[in-house]
Copies of this chain bind each other. A is one copy, B any other.
Amino acid sequence: NGCTHNTYKITVIPGDGIGKEVMEAALHVLNASGIEFDYTFADAGDEYAEKTGVALPQETIDAVKKSQACLFGAVGESAADVIVKLRKELDLYVNLRPVHSYGKAGKFGDVDFVIVRENTEGLYSGHEEYTDEGATALRITTRSATRRICDFAFDYAKKTGRSKVTAVHKANVLKKTDGIFKEVFYQTAEKYDDIESNDFYVDATAMYLVTRPQDFDVIVTSNLFGDILSDEGAGIVGGLGLLPSANIGDKNGVFEPVHGSAPDIAGKGIANPSAMILSTVLMLEYLGEPDEARKVEKALVETIDEGKIVTSDLGGSSSTMEMAEEVARKLSKL
């Protein structure tokens, strides 16, 4: 409609199993959008490692570094060597995970909160050692990484009109590491007068997510806690098939579903493509295309709400691509 758009350089890493299937589906939807993309396909994952001995080749890292954003499907057993390494290599220090219920309100009612997960340190630091008795792993908390993730959480709350940020930690036991997390969180909170702040222990939070998920708005937490709580959030809004995520740094963004490569259903063409499609929505927002992001989201939500051309986990019997085609059809009319 007259306006010119950029052509965005995107690295696409389909990966393993259903990663490839949901990626094909998501790209099909993006093709129906008003935006142009210049895709570079790149390798990573179990299959690639089997052939080459390397799960994440340097060319893939370089490709992601050179592109404006990366779409990532899912990888199998090599996930820690691929996605965790990518997060660290590119210093993608934020893992943003919106937990939003779509479709008919389930048994948890309408749920809408966002988990801001620290993405570079904690127990993901890779400092593990064998000892005489077994092994040890180092949980690392730095003030600088804590500060930037808390800053991001409050900024994000402000930008998106959310009113509360909750820090989740275990400072009663992890007095030093999570003591710092809590302290830096409240220092950050002081800079944001109009945003409410509170904090809970991670165990209590795991309960509250079940008993009163509506009480949460933005959650900011360390790496592994964010990992656990976001999967729990997936359970609350109806399964991993619906949860997207954004790995964001100062220079790059990598967008991936929270789900994995699901070897049990891979190859059947029945995976729910929603989480991957919603990951492209997060990418469009990141690229500064909020209008297009809203359209893709709307086309998907309408498809889910109608409940006709959806995958089996959503109560339908359509294939991954049939659902994607329906979303694309709706999108092209918006």
Q: Measuring CB to CB, which residues of chain A are less than 8 angstroms from any residue of chain B?
A: 77, 79-80, 84, 107, 123-124, 128-131, 133-146, 170, 172-177, 179-180, 202-204, 206-211, 224, 227-232, 234-236, 239-240
Contact = CB atoms under 8 A, between A and B. Distances in A.
A215 to B, nearest CB: 12
B232 A173 contact: no
10 contacts: A77-B172, A80-B172, A123-B170, A123-B173, A133-B143, A133-B144, A134-B140, A135-B180, A206-B235, A207-B240
A166 to B, nearest CB: 16
Contacts of A79: 172
Given A134-B142, A206-B235, A207-B234, 19 more contacts: A77-B172, A79-B172, A80-B173, A128-B176, A129-B176, A133-B142, A134-B177, A135-B141, A135-B180, A170-B227, A203-B228, A203-B231, A206-B232, A207-B240, A210-B210, A210-B232, A210-B235, A211-B235, A211-B239
Given A107-B107, A177-B135, A228 B210 contact: no
Q: Interface majority SS on A: helix, strand, loop or mixed?
A: helix
A209 B235 contact: yes
Number of copies: 2
Contacts of A232: 206-207, 209-210, 232
A172 B239 CA distance: 21
B211 A231 contact: no
Contacts of A134: 140-146, 177, 180
A229 B229 CA distance: 10
A209 to B, nearest CB: 7
A84 B173 contact: yes
A69 to B, nearest CB: 25
Given A174-B128, A211-B239, A232-B210, A137 B135 contact: no
A230 B203 contact: yes
A200 to B, nearest CB: 10
A131 B175 CA distance: 14
Contacts of A107: 107
A313 to B, nearest CB: 10
A121 to B, nearest CB: 9
Nearest to A234: B207
B231 A206 contact: yes
A55 to B, nearest CB: 12
A176 B135 contact: yes
**Most chain-B Cβ atoms within 10 A of its Cβ — which of A137, A143, A211, A234?**
A137
**Most chain-B Cβ atoms within 10 A of its Cβ — which of A130, A203, A204, A234?**
A203
A130 B204 contact: no
A323 B236 CA distance: 32
